[in-house]
């Protein structure tokens, strides 16, 4: 008989508090969105990352497509995306993404990807092709990219930024102290420098980053990350509750109550972010369309005061 390694008690998933419970997705629109993704051979981070908001978002056909396959070359302790050796890049994917954006009628689309450390460019040229394909198919759609860090791939951040997405997002995910256990293959200051670099070369682009809470960070550490982001001129901050995908992933240390998110949002707003979204269910692409419109309005108001 094969021995089974017991699950450590501290890694057992805690029951969710009432404010994190959501209904299972059942709408016709959800089914239609899922069917379209399968027909076009596209992956979504909504499914791969087991996002709790999938039912709400797909009911209004807001799917976040994940390019460059569904296998990641990194093994972050918080992420449910499959890890291993990725397959070949699908040359038809940019056209398929553009078709999906058009079919869904998206006025704002969020595109993300797995890490592709196996590729010389980290997938950057493919990112550019996806952006160009969407621009050709639906020129009025605004594009938000949520890219990997392209670590040790010199010039690739510049390449994607030069394709002029409307929002360049890269998540810091957690506080520096927890990187070794939560995001071991990444480096905090590499990610921070990426956001700073985008603003240096394209000051007109909106930049965005996100944090998970509930992993053992302190309030003071979260505030320090806010200060680091503002020093890098990040425009938009998202903060959401970390949820443990499986017992193999990092454990939830604490479910942060909604009133603490209200306080974090207040602090971040005072620090000068143009837009802040901080709720237990906030994710990078959650309500991204409406948030982008508020972000534009905030910048216009800010410029009017200068």
The three-state DSSP-derived secondary structure of 51-114 is: CCCHHHHHHCCCCCEEECCCEECCCCCCCCCEECCCCCCCCCHHHHHHHHHHHHCCCEEEEEEC
Separation between Cα atoms, residue 196 and residue 192, nearest integer Å: 6
For residues 87 and 70, the answer to whether their CB atoms sit within 8 Å is no
225-236 as b/e, with b when 16 or more CB fall inside 10 Å? bbebbeebebbb
Q: Enter the tokens of residue 151.
A: 């670590």
CB 63 within 8 A of CB 57: yes
pLDDT at 58: 82
- Report the residue count for the chain: 306
User: Which residue ranges of the chain lie beneath pLDDT 50?
Assistant: 1-10
Q: What does the pLDDT read at residue 299? A: 85
pLDDT for the residue numbered 13: 65
- On whether the pTM is more than 0.75, the answer is yes
Q: For the chain, which domains are there? A: 24-305 (3.20.20.70)
pLDDT score recorded for residue 166 = 97
């Amino acid at each position: 008989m094969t021995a089974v390694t017991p699950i450590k008690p501290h890694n057992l998933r805690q029951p969710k508090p009432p404010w994190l419970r959501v209904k299972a997705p059942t709408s016709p629109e959800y089914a239609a969105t899922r069917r379209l993704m399968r027909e076009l051979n596209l992956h979504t981070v909504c499914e791969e990352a087991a996002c709790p908001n999938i039912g709400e978002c797909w009911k209004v056909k807001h799917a976040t497509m994940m390019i460059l396959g569904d296998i990641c070359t990194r093994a972050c302790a918080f992420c449910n995306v499959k890890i291993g050796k990725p397959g070949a890049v699908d040359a038809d994917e940019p056209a398929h993404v553009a078709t999906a954006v058009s079919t869904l009628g998206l006025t704002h689309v969020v595109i993300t990807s797995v890490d592709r450390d196996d590729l010389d460019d980290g997938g950057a040229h493919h990112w550019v092709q996806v952006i160009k394909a969407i621009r050709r198919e639906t020129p009025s759609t605004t594009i938000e990219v949520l890219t990997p860090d392209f670590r040790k791939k010199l010039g690739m951040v510049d390449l994607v930024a030069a394709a002029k997405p409307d929002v360049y997002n890269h998540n810091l995910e957690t506080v520096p102290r927890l990187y070794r256990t939560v995001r071991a293959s990444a480096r905090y200051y590499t990610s921070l420098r990426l956001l700073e670099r985008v603003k240096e070369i394209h000051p007109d682009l909106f930049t965005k980053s996100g944090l998970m809470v509930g992993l053992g960070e302190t309030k003071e550490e979260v505030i320090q990350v806010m200060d680091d982001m503002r020093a890098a001129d990040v425009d938009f901050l998202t903060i959401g509750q970390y949820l443990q995908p499986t017992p193999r992933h990092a454990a939830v240390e604490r479910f942060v109550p909604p009133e603490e998110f209200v306080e974090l949002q207040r602090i971040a707003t005072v620090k000068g972010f143009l837009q802040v979204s901080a709720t237990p269910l906030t994710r990078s692409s959650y309500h991204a369309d409406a948030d982008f419109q508020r972000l534009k309005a905030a910048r216009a108001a800010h410029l009017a005061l200068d």
